[in-house]
Amino acid sequence: MLPAPHRVVDSTVLFVGQREIGIEHHGALYRLKITRQGKLILNK
């Protein structure tokens, strides 16, 4: 049996023209940022 596919969300849907968003996970706030090189960095 094959595993179910993961949910994929395009980053443009998350960021909507911004370079940084906040993600709340188990009561902690994380920041997801697009760098100048176009990579993603997640910070607590």
SS3 sequence, 5-22? Answer: CCCCCCHHHHHCCCCEEE
Domain ranges for the chain, please list them: 11-43
Model confidence pLDDT, tens digit, residues 20-35: 999 999 999 999 999 9
Cα separation, 35 vs 31, in Å, equals: 12
Percent of the chain with pLDDT over 70: 98
pLDDT reading at 7 higher than 90: no
Task: Assign domain 11-43 one CATH number from 3.40.800.20, 3.20.20.60, 2.10.70.10, 3.30.930.10.
Answer: 2.10.70.10
Q: What is the mean pLDDT of residues 12-23?
A: 97
Given a contact cutoff of 8 angstroms between Cβ atoms, the answer to whether 31 and 38 are in contact is no
Closest CA to 31 of 11, 23, 6, 9: 23
